[in-house]
Amino acid sequence: MIAVVAERRRLLIDSCRLQCADEQRRFALEDHESRYLRRVLRLRPDDQVDVVDGCGHLWTARLLEDHRLELCSGIEAASQQVGAPSPKLGLAIAVIRRGMDDVMRMACELGVDQLQPIHCQRCVPQAEHRPDRWRSIVQEAVEQCERLWAPELSELRAVDDWWEAPDGSDLRLIAVTRAAEITPLSVLLADQASADQSIWLAIGPEGGWSDRELAAAAAAGWVPVSLGGTILRSSTAAVAGITSLTNWRTLRC
């Protein structure tokens, strides 16, 4: 007979707030968290919820009457603890007019560790830039997909300032189209000897990279890769690329 474990929803709480819990391991909920637990999940006092800090730890907590949570164990005695994913996977994506919300959500669900929105020459003026909404989407995705490590979402940067930003030891890949003799991402990953160095994948805007941007990327050590034989929308390319990277990491680890 197979035992069925009842689902218990998760709440992502910043580790600083958890560290500031009182002697009874209690801390106050913010208004939106209280509404979520009581009105959306319909939890009642004494019901339990799992709390994660986005840094590899999970605790069981109990909902109290006065809009607070009480950890069922000490902060030093997490119910679950896992190390950070290795190697780290980063996605740098040009802001686009439609689809950024989906990219943020799906990249988080698939396991990306760093998210870097970038502004490129051919980004349209109507391109979405909603960092507060993206942070909310990422938080909800972490809770929904049961990750213990939350991805880092960085502020928007101009691509000209971005090429040199990743560590020089990172494997830095840039997705390109309509270029002859470009190595497919899957082939490059199959030949990747090390599973330790971080990997970045850069996805351009719907209008594609400019010649100046491609030259700057090449000068900074970015390696061009192909994501397939068809032309993909930026949002599709981001999901396809991250899927290949996370599948590779799963098989290598």
Same domain (yes/no): 93, 56:
no
Question: Tens digit of pLDDT for each residue in 68-116?
Answer: 999 999 899 999 999 999 999 999 999 999 899 999 999 999 999 999 9
**Distance separating alpha carbons of residues 131 and 125, to the nearest angstrom:** 16
171's tokens: 């494997």
Tally of structural domains, the chain: 2
- For residues 121-133, give the mean pLDDT: 93
Residues 191 and 234 in one domain: yes
Q: 145 with 240, same domain? A: yes
User: Is residue 5 assigned to a domain?
Assistant: no
> Among 51, 81, 111, which residue terminates a domain?
81
Q: Which of 131, 200, 205 minimizes the C-alpha distance to 165?
A: 200
| Residue 139 falls inside a structural domain | yes
- Residue 104's domain comprises 89-252
Residues 50 and 98 in one domain: no
Out of 64, 81, 98, a domain closes at: 81
Answer whether residue 166 is part of any domain.
yes
- Phi-psi region at 49: left, alpha or beta (left = phi > 0; alpha = psi -120 to 50): beta
Asked whether residue 139 falls in the same domain as residue 20, the answer is no
The C-alpha atoms of residue 245 and residue 167 are separated, in whole angstroms, by 18
At a CB cut-off of 8 Å and minimum separation 6, what does 154 contact? 114, 115, 116, 117
- Please report whether residue 197 resides in a domain: yes
pLDDT of residue 193: 65
Contact predicate 140/177, CB 8 Å: no
**With bands split at pLDDT 50, 70 and 90, how would you rate the model's confidence at 192?**
confident
Q: Is residue 186 part of a domain?
A: yes
Instruction: Return the structure tokens found at 97.
Output: 């007019």
Single residue among 21, 52, 81 that ends a domain in this structure: 81
Token digits of residue 90: 């980063």
Q: What is the value of pTM for the model shown?
A: 0.91
Judgement on whether residues 55 and 111 belong to the same structural domain of the protein: no
Instruction: Judge whether residue 52 has pLDDT over 90.
Output: yes
Confirm if 199 and 149 have CB atoms less than 8 A apart.
no
Same domain, yes or no: 198 and 101: yes
Question: Same domain for 109 and 51?
Answer: no
pLDDT at 88: 95
pLDDT of residue 4: 46
119 shares its domain with 142: yes
Q: Is residue 4 part of a domain?
A: no
Q: How much is the mean pLDDT over the chain?
A: 92
Residues in the chain: 253
Dist. CA 159–CA 122, nearest whole Å = 11
CATH code, domain with 27 = 2.40.240.20
Section 142-167 average pLDDT: 95
For residues 230-246, give the mean pLDDT: 95
**Residue pLDDT, tens place only, 109-123:** 999 999 999 999 999
Q: Is the pLDDT of residue 5 over 90?
A: no
Among candidate residues 77, 57, 156, 142, the one with its CA nearest the CA of residue 106: 142
The mean pLDDT of 217-230, rounded to a whole number, is: 94
The C-alpha atoms of residue 140 and residue 11 are separated, in whole angstroms, by: 9
pLDDT greater than 60 at residue 164: yes
